[in-house]
A and B are shown apart, each in its own frame.
Chain A
Amino acid sequence: MTKKAKGQTEITIYPDWCKGCGICVEFCPAKVLALGRDGKARVARLDECINCGFCERHCPDFAIVVRGKGRKRRAPACAENGETPVDKE
């Protein structure tokens, strides 16, 4: 499932939502992230990211978004009012 190719991602961290717990920093297998002086997580070595998704799954505050390079924000993919989700990928 995981492509170990490096540097294929863009990472957005929303500072207002990040509480600086450090989980993403500690456990990122490629050591991509670091805590900034404001106590919030920031991207230190984007090129090393292997797009494993660990930080996204473990950020308790949903503050990190990792997406494929050049990809736009996609339309909502959740099922609403009984409709099935349309896969926009």
Chain B
Amino acid sequence: MADITELIHDYLRHNKKFPHVFCAGCGHGIVLGALIRSIHALGLSKDEVCIVAGIGCSGRIAAYVDFNTVHTTHGRALTFATGIKMANPKLKVITIMGDGDAMSIGGNHLIHAARRNIGVTALVLNNNIYGMTGGQCSATTPQGATTQTTPFGQMEKAFDIVTLAAAAGANGVYRGSTFHVNMLDRLVATAIERPGFNLVEIITPCHTQYGRKNKYKSAVDMFKWIKKNCVPKEKFDALPEADRGEKMPIGTFVEKDHKGLEQLYGELQARLNRPGRPVAEPEQPSAQHAEESRNIMNKEPK
């Protein structure tokens, strides 16, 4: 045991200012630690890992680690990651997104990344709030919660990230918490190692923007809440409906073995370019194509 922090220090950028920007007791630092430990456990070299982050508090994680890091635009991390993975399938591409990033502005990209099963690992840091912009409600803010933009309580329902990702066709879907860190390490490592699109929802506390307004006076209170309410899936399933209340299952939800898109594409390319295979003339769109599109004036093309 121990020697954990020193190991993490090896992976931090030494020319970057520490401590990092996150509030005292923010779970994002813990996720960063879990990510580093998972990558170390898998024996990946720093050069073959590419971290692609979105915008928001979680987006800032990328700057601190000594991997290839890209801090993209809000909600678009998965699109950049898709480009990077397709361009160089040898890279381990890991996206870090917040709940606003992944579920609101980037919701479309998330379901399509899951559908096309691109070999990218998505970590969704769910703190139920827009932290960096000052505490507005997000797509995962629980009903009834108070935020800057729901001063009278949230009326809308929250997304269940795990169910959504599973329905969209992700190869692997997991949920972990920043309190149950041993499990988190394991889940993140599994998600990185497996083929196709793998998503880990990580329950992480935002005491500053969410907790204060919702009866959790300190970071410690939030961690106590997580400790109490995140229960392993097996235990959760055994609980009678009535006792579930606020509780959330954590663990493995989906694990399929479909090939990632980049793998399928590589196989297609190998097939098409097999030596000795007669190379067909590339097809050209028919001459009438342009003619047609000019004629069908009333067609709604988009």
Contact = CB atoms under 8 A, between A and B. Distances in A.
Contact of A2 (B1, B12, B47): B1
A77 B25 contact: no
A60 B22 contact: yes
B130 interface: no
Given A22-B219, A82-B45, A60 B2 contact: no
Interface string A37-67: 0000000000000011100111111111111
A60 B45 contact: no
Interface residues of B, number: 42
A55 B7 CA distance: 14
Looking at chain B's contact residues, the main secondary structure is: helix
B24 A67 contact: no
A81 B66 CA distance: 12
A75 B131 CA distance: 37
A33 to B, nearest CB: 13
B43 interface: yes
Given A51-B2, A67-B2, A78-B40, A60 B46 contact: no
Interface stretch (B28-36, B134-142, B148-156): B28-36
A76 B28 contact: no
A61 B218 CA distance: 17
Nearest to B22: A60
Nearest to A16: B19
B5 to A, nearest CB: 4
Contacts of B40: 77-79, 85
Interface string B218-260: 1110011000000000000000000000000000000000000
A79 B29 contact: no
Contacts of A63: 5, 19
Interface in B40-84: 40, 43-48
Contact of A56 (B5, B19, B43, B45): B5
A26 B220 contact: yes
B234 to A, nearest CB: 21
A78 B11 contact: yes
A84 B30 CA distance: 25
B10 A27 contact: no
B44 A79 contact: yes
A23 to B, nearest CB: 6
Determine which residue in A1, A17, A57, A84 has the highest number of CB atoms from chain B within 10 A of its CB, and name it: A57
A19 B30 CA distance: 14
Given A51-B1, A80-B45, A65 B28 contact: no
Given A19-B24, A57-B181, A78-B11, A84 B43 contact: yes
Contacts of A62: 5, 8-9, 12, 18, 29, 33
B29 A53 contact: no
Contacts of A26: 220, 223-224
A9 B2 contact: yes
5 contacts: A2-B1, A16-B19, A19-B24, A65-B5, A85-B40
Contacts of A36: none
Contacts of B45: 79-83
B46 A78 contact: yes
Contacts of A67: 2-3, 6
A80 B5 contact: no
A20 B48 CA distance: 35
Determine which residue in A64, A76, A78 has the highest number of CB atoms from chain B within 10 A of its CB, and name it: A78
A59 B29 contact: yes
A19 B58 CA distance: 18
B287 interface: no
B25 A17 contact: no
B26 interface: yes
